[in-house]
Amino acid sequence: MTEHPQPSDRARDLVRGAYDVHIHVAPDVMRRRVDDVTLAEKFAAVGLAGFVLKSHYAPTAERAAVVRRAAPEAAALGAITLNASVGGLNPIAVEIAGRGGAKFVWLPTVDSANQRQCHAEEPEGATPPMWAKLQEDLRADGMAADPVDVIGPDGTVVEAARQVFRLIARHGMVLATGHLHADEIAVAVEAAAEEGVERIVVTHPEFTSQRVAVERQRQLASRGALLERCFTTPYTGKVAWDVWFNAIREAGPEHSVISSDLGQPFNPPVEDGLALCADRLLAEGFGEEEVRTMTVHNSRWLVGAEPLPGAPAHHGKAVRA
């Protein structure tokens, strides 16, 4: 996959001012297409406001602060993902991340019980995630950690998760649901709302290990959660484009946020992701205001940035218990 489409000028204009809330760039433990400082410069050049640095293995808040100093034209925002490498559901790690300015907290991804147990076959021709090889290497070297359980045997969230949710609320961070099972996502969203978390995003509900049904997506949206539509999920063949588009329509564009999930060497440039997605959505019949809501307004609301003209009136309302 070396030849990639180029975004249209119309799409570039539509996504101007957006944040890409899910990217994977260097430095990382895997080869990446671009480094974070260079990406900030590229984002500024195409009118994007910033991005959230996601790593499956390491916190990124301090790194983001360095990037903001080196390339302040676009805001790099930090995060933490609660996999085994940071101690799983580790309240201390979340507290330190919050004090360091992290904006996103992902529940377990590669080390979630659901991801470990997922036997779903990638569709024929789909590109496997890069972290799968690293996980295999860790297992081969005898470093396969126990799954990080968010939901206990009784079907409720474990106390460590509730403590994490309280810390997310205290620091005004965003909770992302990671690679949990659809049933786990519903329970986690409810508990997070009870603990005062105001911004929740359901991580790529169409991804192979999630496959959240549309009716469940609607229920999550009714609780105030945003549904993250990652460009790479259909682009790399993990789900059909028509399924992805239909989920957006059925749950409502106002309840979706577009991210790229880009940074892999074989995928398009990260700074093109949101605009490429906008072109796909426009070609599918979505309106310009719908596209701008999903890319710009909802991403800015998630990261706590100032709303731009045209932002939906529901912004300022958060997830409620």
The answer to whether residue 219 sits within a structural domain is yes
Residue 128 has pLDDT above 80, yes or no: no
Residue 190 pLDDT exceeds 80: yes
Domain count, the chain: 1
Residue 171: predicted pLDDT: 98
CA-to-CA separations, 143 to 139, 230, 274, in angstroms, rounded:
5, 30, 36
Q: Is residue 319 part of a domain?
A: no
Place of tokens 């994007």: 48
User: Does 228 map to a domain?
Assistant: yes
DSSP 3-state of 38: helix
Residue 142 near residue 254 (C-beta atoms within 8 A): no
- The answer to whether 75 and 61 are in contact (CB under 8 A) is no
Q: Report the pLDDT value the prediction gives residue 122, as an integer from 0 to 100.
A: 63
Nearest-CA neighbor of 302 among 11, 9, 7, 20? Answer: 20
Round to whole Å and give the CA distance between 278 and 271: 13
Q: How many angstroms separate the CA atoms of 249 and 286, rounded?
A: 9
CB 90 within 8 A of CB 158: no
CA-to-CA separations, 224 to 34, 70, 94, 167, 208, in angstroms, rounded: 34, 35, 23, 19, 24
Q: What is the pLDDT of residue 125?
A: 66
210-266 per-position pLDDT tens digit: 999 999 999 999 999 999 999 999 999 999 999 999 999 999 999 999 999 999 999
Token pair, residue 240, equals 């059909």
User: pLDDT confidence of 318, banded at 50, 70, 90?
Assistant: very low
Query: What is the residue-averaged pLDDT of the chain?
Result: 94
- Whether 124 shows a pLDDT value over 80: the answer reads no
pLDDT band for position 58 (cuts 50, 70, 90): very high
pLDDT at 137 over 90: no
Query: What local confidence, expressed as pLDDT, does residue 130 receive?
Result: 80
Tokens, residue 276? 């490429």
Contact at 8 Å (CB) between 173 and 192?
A: no
Percent of the chain with pLDDT over 90: 84
Q: Does 58 fall in a domain?
A: yes
Report pLDDT digits (tens) over 73-108: 999 999 999 999 999 999 999 999 999 999 999 999
Residue 290 dihedral angles phi and psi, to the nearest 5°: -65, -45
Residue 119 has pLDDT above 80, yes or no: no
DSSP class per residue in 287-300: -HHHHHIIIIIHHH
Domain-embedded: residue 309: no
Residue 126 lies in domain: 9-303
Does some domain include residue 320?
Answer: no
| CATH number for position 43 | 3.20.20.140
Predicted local confidence at residue 287, as pLDDT: 98
What does the pLDDT look like over 13-51, one tens digit per residue? Answer: 999 999 999 999 999 999 999 999 999 999 999 999 999
Please indicate, yes or no, if residue 48 is contained in any of the structural domains: yes
pLDDT at 114: 87
pTM over cut 0.85: yes
Q: Which residues contact 207 (CB under 8 A, 6 or more apart)?
A: 179, 230, 233, 238, 239
Tell me, yes or no, whether 314 lies in a domain. no
